[in-house]
């Protein structure tokens, strides 16, 4: 549906404008600052919901398109539009932003700056998801990078925040500037004098060119998706970040990496993707298995979730690397499902930590009696994480595995073609490990005997916390029961990708 209202621009720029506005508030008006932040987040979420339900599935393709010349001599335009893959990401970002504000209600140190930076970050994220112009994408991608540094370094966990923030920022910046050089090479070699991604899809880059530049672009962005061996910044960053930032980070930012790797890497350099496919699958498989094992070994509650993200993002990458419609649909669903799930997890961890002031799993226990809502929400997240039928994780992981299973025939002739069944087997084993670490955390933290030192100190979760976790948890359940709410949409997006991949 084409609307006169520039809905994507408003979604993208509202957080930034709000961020700037917040900075003009007197610092001591904390209540007004929070309420303004909440109003802006609600408005943005509302608009993303409107966009989501107004997308015309029958027409598919890019919708709500807006285009304006930005820098004419170089063919740079402000060019936005969403398809079946990016629209759920916009919705996801809106949700994480909204719940992130609720969860951060208690931030008392410079809340003005906190919400301002968080919102600038949100603008960066929205901008990438809706970008149809390479420059536009890169511009907003970089906007998303630096607020992370400040958010983690200022409001993070005192022990590791400075180290983790710097490590994260440098990793992401290195990845993005390498991708930048690749994108510039594409721009100049295409001879089209445009950064328009849809036009660049027709550029017909030579195989040698694609082979050389694909790794820069794909892995440059995939750093943000936490692909092995560049995943190292991610658990450290998650753990050091304040709750809302962890939610944003694992829930949305990592998707940004996978999304950009797909949009720019795979869709613009498909032959390169095909050439590097075995390596991507190999690395993604390590993500899945190694991430799960490391998560199992952690004593720190938050690290468990941090490494589970590494593992789950591996599944997204596997889905992308199938290069078939089923797998890419699965990857899209997994991005959404994991985004909501991990935001929920970090919200739960944050609520527990705020009360217990420790995240050491062996010294926790019995929180179910004091935090029943959090317990239920965490268990729902856990079931999603394990891929249990009836929850969104299942409808995401199944297509990925099915896609992988049949990917052998799509890539017939490739030397890894005969091994796809093995890859599926290994990935499935990882899901079993996921079940073990999730159940361990549930049992140790929420059930059993509460240690004596916590008795009487643990307050119930606040109403705002409950709103946040109920919203996130119900989306996970809803999507698990009614996959039709999203699966056809993402499938249409995957079709769009397949159309570009063409003969592959």
Partner 1 sequence: MSIAAFHPAHLIAILPELALVALAGVVMTMDVALAENRKRLLGLTTAVGSFVIIALALLFSQPTGELIWGGMIRNDMAAFVFRLVFIFSGAITALLSLDVKGVAHKGDYYAIMLGAVVGMCFMALAADVIMLYLAVETAGIAGYVLAGYVHRDDRSAEAGLKYFLFGAATSAVMLYGLSLLYGFTGETNLNAIATVLASGEVALAAIVVTAVLIVVGVGFKMAAVPFHFWAPDVYEGAPTPVTAFVSTASKTAGFAVLMRVFITGLTASGAWLPMLVALAAVSMTLGNLLALAQTNIKRLLAYSSIAHAGYALVAFVAYSELGMAATVYYLMAYVVTNLAAFGVVILVARSAGSDEIARYAGMSRRSPYLALAMLVAFLSLAGMPPLAGFFGKFYVFAAAVNAGLVWLAFVGVLNAIVGLYYYLAVLKVVYVSPAPEGAAAVDVPRAYGFALAVLSVGIILLGTASAPWFGWALRAAQGLF
Residues that bind partner 1 in the complex, under the rule CB under 8 A: 23, 27, 69-74, 110, 112-113, 135, 139-140, 142-143, 145-146, 149-150, 153-154, 161-162, 166, 169-170, 173-174, 177-178, 180-181, 184-185, 187-188
The encoded tokens of residue 457 equal 């100190």
The nearest distance, CB 315 to partner 1, in angstroms, is: 30
The nearest distance, CB 181 to partner 1, in angstroms, is: 5
Q: Distance from CA of residue 77 to its chain's centroid? A: 25
| Cα dihedral: 114, 234, 89, 85 (round 10) | 160
The nearest distance, CB 164 to partner 1, in angstroms, is: 12
Cα(504)–Cα(490) distance, integer angstroms: 20
The nearest distance, CB 494 to partner 1, in angstroms, is: 30
CB 7 within 8 A of CB 47: yes
The nearest distance, CB 448 to partner 1, in angstroms, is: 38
The nearest distance, CB 9 to partner 1, in angstroms, is: 13
329: left (phi over 0), alpha (psi -120 to 50) or beta: alpha
Q: Distance from CA of residue 53 to its chain's centroid? A: 21
DSSP 157-200: -TTTHHHHHHHHHHHHHHHHHHHHHHHHHHHHHH-S---BHHHH
The encoded tokens of residue 207 equal 């195989």
Can you give 377-425 as a three-state secondary structure string?
Answer: HHHHHHHHHHCCCCCHHHHHHHHHHHHHHHHHHHCCCCCCHHHHHHHHH
Cα(238)–Cα(305) distance, integer angstroms: 9
The nearest distance, CB 170 to partner 1, in angstroms, is: 6
Nearer to partner 1, 209 or 336 (CB): 209
Cα(327)–Cα(400) distance, integer angstroms: 4
């Amino acid at each position: 549906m084409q609307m006169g209202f520039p809905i994507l621009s408003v979604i993208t720029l509202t957080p930034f404008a709000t961020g700037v506005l917040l900075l003009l508030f007197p610092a001591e008006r904390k209540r007004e600052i929070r309420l303004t932040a909440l109003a802006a987040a609600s408005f943005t979420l509302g608009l993303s919901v409107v966009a989501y339900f107004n997308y015309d599935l029958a027409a598919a393709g890019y919708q709500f398109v807006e285009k304006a010349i930005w820098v004419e001599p170089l063919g740079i335009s402000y060019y936005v539009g969403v398809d079946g893959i990016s629209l759920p990401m916009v919705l996801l970002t809106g949700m994480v932003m909204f719940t992130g504000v609720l969860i951060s209600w208690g931030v008392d140190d410079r809340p003005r700056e906190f919400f301002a930076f968080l919102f600038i970050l949100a603008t960066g994220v929205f901008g990438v998801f809706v970008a149809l112009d390479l420059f536009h994408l890169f511009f907003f991608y970089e906007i998303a990078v630096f607020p992370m540094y400040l958010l983690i370094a200022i409001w993070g966990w005192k022990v590791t925040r400075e180290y983790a923030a710097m490590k994260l920022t440098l990793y992401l910046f290195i990845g993005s500037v390498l991708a930048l050089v690749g994108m510039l090479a594409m721009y100049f070699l295409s001879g089209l004098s445009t950064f328009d991604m849809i036009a660049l899809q027709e550029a017909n880059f030579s195989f040698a060119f694609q082979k050389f530049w694909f790794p820069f672009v794909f892995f440059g962005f995939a750093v943000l998706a936490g692909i092995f061996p560049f995943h190292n910044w991610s658990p450290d960053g998650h753990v050091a970040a304040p709750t809302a930032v962890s939610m944003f980070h694992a829930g949305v930012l990592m998707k940004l990496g996978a999304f950009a790797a797909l949009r720019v890497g795979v869709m613009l350099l498909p032959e390169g993707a095909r050439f590097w496919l075995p390596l991507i699958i190999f690395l993604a498989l390590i993500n899945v298995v190694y991430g799960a094992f490391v998560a199992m070994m952690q004593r720190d509650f938050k690290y468990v979730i941090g490494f589970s993200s590494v593992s789950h993002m591996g599944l997204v990458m596997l889905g992308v690397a199938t290069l078939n419609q089923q797998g890419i649909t699965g990857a899209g669903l997994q991005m959404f499902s994991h985004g909501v799930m991990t935001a929920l997890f970090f919200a739960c961890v944050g609520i527990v930590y705020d009360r217990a002031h420790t995240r050491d799993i062996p010294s926790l226990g019995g929180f179910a009696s004091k935090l029943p809502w959090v317990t239920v929400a965490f268990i729902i997240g856990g079931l999603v994480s394990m891929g249990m039928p009836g929850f969104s994780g299942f409808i995401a992981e199944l297509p990925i595995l099915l896609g992988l299973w049949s990917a052998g025939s799509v890539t017939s002739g490739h030397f890894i073609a005969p091994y796809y069944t093995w890859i599926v087997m290994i990935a499935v084993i990882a899901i079993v490990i996921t079940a073990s670490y999730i159940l361990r955390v549930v049992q140790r933290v929420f059930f059993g005997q509460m240690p004596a030192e916590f008795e009487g100190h643990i307050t119930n979760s606040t109403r705002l916390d409950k709103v946040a976790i109920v919203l996130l948890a119900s989306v996970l359940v809803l999507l698990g029961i009614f996959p039709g709410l999203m699966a056809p949409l993402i499938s249409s997006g995957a079709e769009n990708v397949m159309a570009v991949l063409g003969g592959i």
